[in-house]
Structure 1
């Protein structure tokens, strides 16, 4: 029996060593042999890409892949190996990846290799990769530089601040490189970047603005940025004022751009200045309106009780766009103090100005305002007819049909008052209204739930975060923000939901209809990440 087992074992060993015998497809040896059989570079790349998607990659493959990276001559094959090592995210690969870098390269294949090496080092995220990534900032290929910038930002490499500041402000670089450097500085969060970011906030090149990236980076920097923005808002930064004059930038740019970020940062030290800016005057009506609108928005974001009275005095503003800024600010501030002024404004101005006041009236009122809204709906056909006659019929089509349609719109706004009659101050009732078919009711419910300071309802708001209507979605985000600010429990719940929110931001990056809403969502995510719970 022993002889029989020995013979069988010997036969098995011989079979495994015979040519053509199958090797374990999950083993490095199998894939190394497959690479050895591939003759053309594209075939080798195909083998490596198949390995990446096989699910077999683990630490056992590191020696083989490191050897391939060092011995392979074709840059495109080495680039595929770099991608595989990036997938594995093992710090042991930092050295081999760094040794493969060829900074002075100019051919497209080696440029691609450098780009993939930078991306892989960024995926690994080990601090030891910083020197190589800093070196890659000087590469000739812009795509390689972008990967290096992105990696340094994600790794929060403080040594990268000065070179990134230079890149952010380099007028000879491509604007998309400037943008990436600005974003990376925000991620790193070092206050040394603030002077440069304060300039890129208003500086434009070739008609390209860097405001979106600069404002978010300053928001990420938090308190140190708030100090600089407050000084700019109040005109107390002499060096910045001199730079503004030298570069031909309108000083009012900082009045509304700094205001917006200070509102995002909830910087109450700016409250008095912002209230004053509600009466800002400028010979250019567009600048005047812009400064006033941004002041209203900033005061609403910081939930300023002191802003309610001055804003209520402005809701009779004839310009529909500016009136909507004021009424929207009042909607977010809440309370019944502004309702008399809104009710009066709802009967004044053109249709768009009237509707702005009606919308705010129904976002803040309750059953007491129902008769007023019903009266406005009844009077709308006559108002529309008179408006059309004054305009000579321009843009009216059929005045009677248009008047009827507008009256129906007012009645639809009134559904929010019906909801308020049913729910009152009951946050649980409003949480159920988040499932209402009417988007206006959902928007009001979101704000009422947000004001309710009940962490138990934050999940109901998060469940609707993919709401298709952008304005309704913004109300939902705002409701979550308020709960996060008011209760630690809500902040903890939102923190656990961050992966879902971050995925949503990534997937909707190219959806232009959600740009404004997702800017607010980005700030919510950053606020929760920064908060200590």
Structure 2
């Protein structure tokens, strides 16, 4: 009986299933006679991220029943050693048919393109270029994205053609623009300049095109300066043929020049602050003129062009609601430039005009002005408190701040200005002492927190980087913007670079988590550019 019991026990051990979390369990089943078992093995190895199985999975690309699943698995598991097998598996004969075989072949080509893009091996360029001309849109999109990942310079002509193709799907155009930026060759600049101003099916490509040009860096500066000054005959001919308004061109060229921060562009941008659009309709002319001026002011602010501060100041006006955006952009630019003498002029302009614009320029003054302006703010608040109830209530209503009791309207209005004394009082206490400003990043008042971020950035305070990175994730956009600007300024401080590299993963994680959140779109575009700067330190 004992030998029989032992044999039975050994039999049970032999039949016991192997560990499902052990890749060896599934690698051993890749050559099983049952195709369902082989498919399951490939899928499980992908889930387990078992890169050691990539060579065996690549062999299954020759198996018609496993080809698509194998290509999908190699998106995550493949490496340079699997490139040849993936290239051999591309089906260049398939059309856009709706039959089962054509759909399966296109799905497989799509997976292969994604796998090759993830691997990023330049050998894949020619095959991906062929797939970019596929009759299946999904295959084209995957191939175009992959061409950027493998940095295929031979694809620039094809990708540029896609950007200019009026029949191309918007998503394909977006991927082509991103790919051109990733490839990083100056020969892509004409297509990317077109991408700044074109629309397809109501879709703008400004975010992708401006970022791609930013990635190209210095090579894009002179071409954009020429475009902004009507000195590029080829672009002028294209713009005329495609009915692109000059104002849009000037504004978007200014946007990118501001990102690139090349001082050669300052005179060009200053000239655009005086732009007057020739549209015969006065309202349209004003709108287009302000569009160019606001982007020029914003660019000069990003460049911290002190010499341009008076010209930017000249754009600020509180008299007309049509000037709200240009005034907001210009006042913010003055904060970034940091010429404190301009804050007094902003405070002077805050004395009269439309309430919303007055508050905008007063807040900007409070973000960088000398402490003595605190007295002006309090005087202004006291004056508002003595206004007529009817006038105060009307102005608050314009701010979408209706008051239940009209008797409180003037006090509430006065408070809107009076609160701005807080950042100026903080400036009186802290002056240029970074150790004093650092805890004020936790202040209950958002304008104080924003001012603290700006002051720490101006002071080159490397010790504040961790706190500024945290502030760059605040819900309050005013503080986010200030913290991001401060971190950007610190990138030019050698002593700050190790700490900046240390917070780069945190900022990258924030960008990934907030992708698609509209309320942070503008702030996170700046954060993306900061990420690029940090990666180049």
Change (3 A) 1:289 1:58: closer
2:471–2:479 Cα contact (<8 Å) kept: no
2:42–2:57 Cα contact (<8 Å) kept: no
> 2:29 matched to 1:33?
yes
> 2:200 matched to 1:205?
yes
Equivalent residue runs for 1:114-513 within 5 Å: 114-282=109-277, 283=279, 284-319=285-320, 320-383=324-387, 385=389, 387=391, 397-398=402-403, 399-485=406-492, 487-513=493-519
Change (3 A) 1:340 1:54: closer
What residue is the counterpart of 2:522 in the other structure? Answer: 516
> Partner of 1:332: helix, strand, or coil?
helix
1:309–1:337 Cα contact (<8 Å) kept: no
Change (3 A) 1:80 1:471: farther
Distance (whole Å) between structure 2 residues aligned to residue 479 and residue 493 of structure 1: 14
> Partner of 2:165: helix, strand, or coil?
coil
> 2:47 matched to 1:53?
yes
1:47 CA drift (Å): 4.1
Change (3 A) 1:67 1:154: closer
Distance (whole Å) between structure 1 residues aligned to residue 531 and residue 449 of structure 2: 22
Change (3 A) 1:437 1:260: same
What residue is the counterpart of 2:62 in the other structure? Answer: 70
Distance (whole Å) between structure 1 residues aligned to residue 395 and residue 355 of structure 2: 12
Distance (whole Å) between structure 1 residues aligned to residue 262 and residue 485 of structure 2: 17
Change (3 A) 1:30 1:368: closer
> 2:108 matched to 1:101?
no
What residue is the counterpart of 1:90 in the other structure? Answer: 79
What residue is the counterpart of 1:4 in the other structure? Answer: none
**How many correspondences in the alignment?**
513
1:286 CA drift (Å): 0.2
Over residues 47-105 of structure 1, what are the superposed CA-to-partner deviations in whole Å (9 max), with x where a residue is unaligned?
433332235x142x23431232222x23xx43332232232232111122222222325
2:484–2:527 Cα contact (<8 Å) kept: yes
Query: What is the alpha-carbon root mean square deviation over aligned residues?
Result: 2.8
1:15–1:21 Cα contact (<8 Å) kept: no
> Which one is further off, 314-323 or 385-394?
385-394
2:79–2:119 Cα contact (<8 Å) kept: yes
Distance (whole Å) between structure 2 residues aligned to residue 233 and residue 380 of structure 1: 44
> Partner of 1:36: helix, strand, or coil?
coil
Distance (whole Å) between structure 2 residues aligned to residue 238 and residue 90 of structure 1: 45
Over residues 351-403 of structure 1, what are the superposed CA-to-partner deviations in whole Å (9 max), with x where a residue is unaligned?
10110121012112243122211122222244574646878987674444443
Distance (whole Å) between structure 2 residues aligned to residue 143 and residue 165 of structure 1: 19
Distance (whole Å) between structure 2 residues aligned to residue 477 and residue 351 of structure 1: 28
Change (3 A) 1:139 1:489: farther
> Which one is further off, 28-37 or 258-267?
28-37
1:142 CA drift (Å): 1.6
1:179–1:213 Cα contact (<8 Å) kept: yes
TM-score, length basis structure 1: 0.88
> Partner of 2:244: helix, strand, or coil?
coil
1:484 CA drift (Å): 0.5
Change (3 A) 1:18 1:385: closer
Change (3 A) 1:499 1:404: same
Gaps of 5+ in 1: 1-7
> Partner of 1:33: helix, strand, or coil?
coil
Distance (whole Å) between structure 2 residues aligned to residue 95 and residue 191 of structure 1: 30
> Which one is further off, 518-527 or 377-386?
377-386
What residue is the counterpart of 2:282 in the other structure? Answer: none
Change (3 A) 1:402 1:45: farther
Over residues 423-445 of structure 1, what are the superposed CA-to-partner deviations in whole Å (9 max), with x where a residue is unaligned?
11112221221122222111111
What residue is the counterpart of 1:5 in the other structure? Answer: none
> Which one is further off, 447-456 or 511-520?
447-456
1:273 CA drift (Å): 2.6
